[in-house]
Structure 1
């Protein structure tokens, strides 16, 4: 299942597009329909999605203003617009497709197929490497323009940074453009615990604890939320 957002300032057009997408691709879950640049900025600060269907002209500006304000574009884009004058600019943002209104269902279907192919290949970048039975479980993470292979046993903790996640390892740290909930689900079964809204820690790396905090093996002190403290009893 892929998370999809629609950025479109015409309510009827957004609803019609949502209906077409749901018919053409059941694996695309529409998680938001957003009408403006302002609301889109707030949404992307707090939420990760895989794909965005994006109108170019919005009620308070155009989508290029929006995209210029997002530091890391960690989603794919299909532009849907009544104007054919922005195609070159659109493809500078690695658009999967550029569809003119009124939407031709066949063109939309082709774009969705291309999008799913691209998303499927991206999913392969983040997976557990278990090619040989004697391998240590590792996580492959896309960081900027390279792929980092991280032994799960080297992860001390993860910290939420808005829609991003900071990985703190035994020898380094770096930021990945997915939210912490994504990695909480991915690391389920590997002895990690979400001890606070902003913190996911490796149980084996907990050095000591107090009533409201944990001290990790690297000396970091992590707050525990009240309702999560019982998880370590």
Structure 2
């Protein structure tokens, strides 16, 4: 993976130097692009630089850490708040921080926080690389034949005939196949909905079923598939589903 970049912001010079020294010692792979005492300078740098991690003090004069984030047009980096006050923790997480560390900084706490951020950065990098490949593959492989599924391990190619149903789950998708395996993809359900053939039917906001695998319809609002899995069907989709079989 490419070098990880970071920017540090703290109004106290001694804190900046101490944090920079710890990061360089514990995470030599992180390239520190800048260390800023003035929040205004940090905002300018963050708008220009491609940054992976921002180490941000909360309590600063003129502009605090939360206000700094609110002034940015786009936040596409991981935030680790550095604060002397534990009561800021809840507010920090409301601002989508990956973690926070308390001053004086404990090495173990810093390592835990940074590793969390690195995991997210790595996943984003791999997803971006996979997406380029997936786009090429989708252009060359008939979508009526196989589903191309990006996963954490790589990319799976599953014949659509082998898929029972797809289930949306917290922004991810679970693909249930005839082998009994469940494949989890970083694609959301809406993305797969666009790629599937007409043999698939979205019976619920969180479920897409293979119509060729349907065995029963239950009046209380479920469709039973060949693997005996009961999939809920919404009232709004019930009529459209039944019309498919009339």
TM-score (norm: length of structure 2): 0.52
Match of 2:83 in 1: 81
Aligned to 1:66: 68
SS at match of 1:124: helix
Q: What displacement does 1:61 show?
A: 2.2
1:131: how far off? 6.4
Q: CA deviation at 1:132?
A: 10
Whole-angstrom CA distance in 1 between matches of 2:40 and 2:94: 22
Structure 1 gap ranges (5+): 150-233
How many angstroms does 1:67 deviate by?
Answer: 0.8
**Alignment partner of 2:128 out of 126, 129, 142:** 126
- Is residue 53–residue 78 contact of structure 1 (8 Å, CA) maintained in 2? yes
Structure 2 unaligned residues grouped into runs of 5+: 141-149, 151-170, 172-186, 192-246
Q: TM-score, normalised by structure 1?
A: 0.55
Q: Which has the larger radius of gyration?
A: 2
C-alpha distance in 2 between matches for 1:136 and 1:107? 46
* Structure 2 residue 62 is the aligned partner of structure 1 residue 55: no
Equivalents in 2 of 1:64, 1:100: separation in Å?
A: 16
Other-structure match for 1:31? 33
CA distance in 1, matches of 2:87, 2:48: 31
Would the alpha carbon gap of residues 136 and 91 (structure 1) be closer, same or farther in structure 2, given more than 3 Å must change? same
Question: Do the aligned partners of residues 131 and 16 (structure 1) sit closer, same or farther apart at CA in structure 2, a change above 3 Å counting?
Answer: same
Counterpart among 97, 101, 117 of residue 119 in structure 2:
117
Instruction: From the superposition, tell whether residues 31 and 135 of structure 1 become closer, same or farther in structure 2 (CA, over 3 Å).
Output: same
Residue 17 of structure 1 aligns to a residue in which SS? helix
- The equivalent of 1:90 in structure 2 is 92
Q: Quote how far apart the aligned CAs of 1:32 are.
A: 0.5
Listed one character per residue, the Cα deviations across residues 179-200 of structure 1 (whole Å, up to 9, x for unaligned) are xxxxxxxxxxxxxxxxxxxxxx
Give me the whole-angstrom Cα distance separating, in 2, the residues matched to 1:76 and 1:84: 20
Contact 1:38 1:60 in 2 (8 A): no
* Preserved CA contact (<8 Å) 1:34 1:40: yes
Higher helix share: 2
Could you report, residue by residue, the CA deviation over 1:52-75 in whole angstroms, capped at 9, with x for unpaired residues?
Answer: 011001232201111111132111
CA distance in 1 between partners of 2:63 and 2:25 (Å):
30
Alignment map for 1:131-146 (pairs within 5 Å) = none
RMSD over aligned CA atoms reads: 2.8
Pick closer, same or farther for the CA change 1:136–1:26 going to 2, 3 Å.
farther
Change (3 A) 1:14 1:129: same
Question: Number of aligned pairs?
Answer: 143
1:121-151 deviations in whole A, cap 9, x for unaligned? 11123116436996669xx9xxxx999x9xx
* Higher-RCO chain (CA-CA 8 Å, sequence separation at least 6): 1
